[in-house]
């Protein structure tokens, strides 16, 4: 199953940042078109006072940092067996750029140390919540590259977790092992009259055999428990639904998503 268009949000060039390496590896494996999007440092080093804040937009007269060039990125992509590329530089209106890029891409690659924690949460809010573009969030350091052989899925019965599994299907099809960390509480919150999604049945219909591990869904401990389970299984990708709670609650009170965001040592595939 193809991933037709991938956008990698980059923080450096020559040497290229981890998102470039991950994006190129994915694009080479799946025959994707790869867009490199360099986000200027001026837009990555600012505090965000509240959940609805817009990431800084510099004025027309501001001098920004030197940026990598399209030919440099094309050469890097070619050396990594990626034939089709696009190039973009964001020097103003990050949220507008995300919205535009999300309109024709299927997956984003983002570095977890691209911004400070609150700024990154705002960036991911717009990417995942507003634009509904799934992303692979890379830990620091990130050494593993696809194909992902052991994938762990966090399942709580929510629409966000369902959409995350659907977005991860190309990677799940290639995996040698798939584990579902099942924290769904029986019937959950789904109306009995509505269609019910069974992740095991869904994956089996696509030729993926998944194994189940139950875990306590207590929000106070579940993030750490999921990270521990993934480490025990030697997983190299974790699939997770993001922002199951409100954006404000995720920012102020935390949650599974925020715990994973701050502590995971393996890439996270996130979808809202």
For 40-80, the pLDDT digits (tens) are 888 776 443 333 334 444 444 444 446 789 999 999 999 99
Q: Rounded to an integer, what is the distance from CA 205 to the centroid of its chain?
A: 25
Q: Count of CB atoms within 10 A of residue 245's CB?
A: 17
Q: What's the pLDDT at 250?
A: 46
Return the biggest CA–CA distance within the chain. 58
CA distance 244 to 161: 8
- Give start and end residues of each alpha helix (H) in the chain: 18-30, 70-79, 94-102, 117-124, 159-174, 199-205, 219-232, 247-252, 256-263
Q: What is the DSSP letter of 140?
A: S
* Ranges in the chain, pLDDT < 50: 46-65, 246-253
pLDDT value for 19: 97
Determine the pLDDT at residue 226.
86
The three-class DSSP label of residue 155 is strand
Indicate the domain borders of the chain: 5-138, 150-271
Question: How confident is the model at residue 224, as a pLDDT?
Answer: 81
- Taking the C-alpha atoms of residue 180 and residue 198, their distance in angstroms, rounded to an integer, is 11
pLDDT score, position 164: 96
Measured between its terminal Cα atoms, the distance across the chain in Å is: 21
5-138 and 150-271 share one fold:
yes
Query: Residue 50: its pLDDT value, please?
Result: 37
Summarize pLDDT for 110-136 with one digit per residue, the tens: 999 998 888 888 899 999 999 999 999
The total of other beta-carbon atoms located within 10 Å of residue 4's CB is: 12
The pLDDT score that the predictor gives to residue 16 is 95
Q: For domain 150-271, which architecture applies?
A: 3-Layer(aba) Sandwich (3.40)
Give per-residue burial for 43-62: e unless 16+ CB within 10 Å, then b.
Answer: bbeeebeebeeebbeeeeee
Rounded-to-integer distance, Cα 267 and Cα 231, Å: 12
pTM, whole model, 2 decimals? 0.86
Is the domain spanning 5-138 CATH 3.40.50.620? The answer is: yes
Quick one: angle between helices 18-30 and 70-79, nearest 10?
Answer: 50
Q: Are the C-beta atoms of residues 124 and 238 closer than 8 Å to each other?
A: no
For 8-52, the DSSP string reads EEES-TTTTPHHHHHHHHHHHHHT-EEEEEEEPGGGSS----STT
CA distances from 107 to 132, 134, 217 (A): 10, 5, 28
């Amino acid at each position: 199953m193809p991933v037709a268009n991938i956008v990698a949000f980059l923080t450096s060039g020559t040497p290229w940042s981890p998102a470039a390496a991950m994006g190129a590896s994915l694009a080479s494996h799946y025959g994707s078109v790869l867009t490199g999007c360099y986000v200027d440092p001026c837009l990555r080093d600012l505090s965000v006072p509240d959940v609805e804040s817009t990431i800084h937009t510099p004025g027309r007269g501001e001098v920004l940092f030197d940026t990598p060039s399209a030919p440099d990125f094309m050469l890097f992509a070619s050396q990594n067996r990626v034939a089709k590329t696009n190039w973009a530089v964001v020097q103003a209106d990050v949220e507008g750029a995300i919205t535009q890029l999300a309109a024709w891409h299927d997956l984003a690659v983002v570095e977890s140390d691209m911004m400070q924690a609150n700024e990154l949460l705002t960036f991911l809010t717009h990417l995942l919540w507003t634009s509904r573009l799934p992303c692979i969030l890379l830990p620091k350091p990130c050494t593993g590259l696809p194909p992902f052989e052991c994938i762990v899925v966090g399942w709580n019965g929510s629409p966000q977790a369902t959409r995350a599994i659907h977005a991860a299907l190309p990677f799940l099809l290639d995996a040698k092992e798939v584990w579902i960390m099942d924290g769904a509480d029986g019937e959950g919150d789904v109306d009995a009259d509505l269609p019910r999604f069974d992740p095991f049945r869904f994956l089996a219909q696509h030729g993926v055999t998944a194994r189940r591990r139950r875990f306590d869904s207590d929000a106070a401990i579940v993030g750490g428990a999921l990270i521990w389970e993934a480490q025990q299984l030697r997983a190299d990708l974790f699939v997770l639904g993001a922002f199951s709670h409100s954006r404000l609650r995720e920012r102020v009170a935390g949650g599974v998503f925020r715990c994973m965001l701050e502590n995971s040592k393996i890439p996270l595939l996130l979808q809202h």
